[in-house]
Amino acid sequence: MRLRPGVVALLLLGGALFPGVWITQARAEYQACNETSYILEMAVASLSELGAISQGWFEITPGSCRTVLRSDLHSELELFAFARSADIYGAQGITYHGDTPFCISDEDFLIEGVGLCQMRDYQHARFAGINFEGEKWTTYFSEETNYDLKRAAIAGAQRLLSRLGYSIGSVDGLVGSRTRLALDAFRKEKEVENDTEKIFAALFETVKAKRFDAGLEVCNQSEYRVWAAVGIEEEKGDVIQTRGWLPMDAGKCSPMLLEPLDAYAYYFFAEAVDEEGFTVQVNDRRLSWGGAHLFCVSAIRFVIDGQDSCDARNYDQRGFYRLNTDGEPHYTLTLPGP
């Protein structure tokens, strides 16, 4: 079995597996493989008699494997993993998590201890625990389409090429004529060698730098960092899906949704945080942008289907407001300062 996006799972190495991760035995190191169509950022954490340590980020491109730990793994060591898609995918990205909290940071980090994350200028994320026996192990991150490594690399390139406006057909991990022509055209335009890592690096930087004419873009004109979430109602009366959190730096614009805005309704919520990660207070009130529609959110990056019984499902609630997109495929939302 493989770890699926958003599933709280205990990752067991070398024995029976709980849903959903596929992990195989290897030798003197811990390795992670990306069988998804997204560029992943992975963090690992450990608990031992010496204390707790969390470390990240390890970037893993679609269809590739990367060694995360190069030390002896033993039964006294508790190991944990967390992964998320890169920010270029906006709120349409994916997250792999569990239920054990550790500290993380936006930049590369090596953090000792698990407590007081926000007071130490960190955030917290919930990692999935790994129980293992042996010396070397490999974790495979996957998505519903069940790509193997080869097809994941193709699907990952297709997803980014499509975002850049190339005609590739569907994201299916198969090299058809349109995918081949699009990839050749991109490589020629950017003068990129026929090397998977270099191609993904060029695609990543191109998508990151490009402004688009479809999707939801949020421009943060406040002086604070903002965490944002979106709600999507595909058809009138449908179950509403919420997605978040997407970090947005002060003074910058960030893509939140990448596809044309053709759903029935979109909703939005965001709140500003200070340098220590606490919600900003202005005149004794939280600095946030929201409304009267109470939807489910989580403390970590999330995709939540349905907005009933948030408490019973261990979610928090925030008040979203409906966006007036005027039926246009692209909408830019500006968050003013206080």
- Same domain for 238 and 317? yes
What pLDDT digit, counting tens, does each position of 17-53 carry? 222 333 344 345 788 999 999 999 999 998 887 889 9
The whole-angstrom separation of Cα 123 and Cα 311 is 22
Domain boundary among 209, 238, 254: 209
Query: Shortest CA distance to 298 belongs to which of 135, 81, 98?
Result: 98
User: Residue 102 pairs with which residues in a beta bridge?
Assistant: 125
- Same domain for 131 and 153? no
What pLDDT digit, counting tens, does each position of 154-199 carry? 999 999 998 888 998 889 999 999 999 999 999 999 999 988 889 9
- Same domain for 194 and 253? no
The whole-angstrom separation of Cα 214 and Cα 333 is 13
In a domain, 220, yes or no: yes
In a domain, 109, yes or no: yes
- Same domain for 198 and 288? no
In a domain, 6, yes or no: no
**Structural domain boundaries enclosing 163:** 149-209
| Phi, psi of 294, deg, nearest 5 | -85, 115
The whole-angstrom separation of Cα 99 and Cα 82 is 10
In a domain, 128, yes or no: yes
Contact 31, 132 (CB under 8 A): no
Positions in the chain short of pLDDT 50: 1-2, 7-27
The two structure tokens encoding residue 335: 């968050």
pLDDT at 31: 87
Contact 164, 210 (CB under 8 A): yes
Classify strands 316-322 and 265-273 as parallel, antiparallel or unpaired: antiparallel
DSSP notation for 300-315: SSEEEE--S-TGGGT-
Say how many C-beta atoms besides its own lie within 10 A of residue 233's C-beta. Answer: 18
- Same domain for 185 and 235? no
pLDDT at 245: 87
CATH of the domain at 319: 2.60.40
* Count of the separate structural domains present in the chain: 3
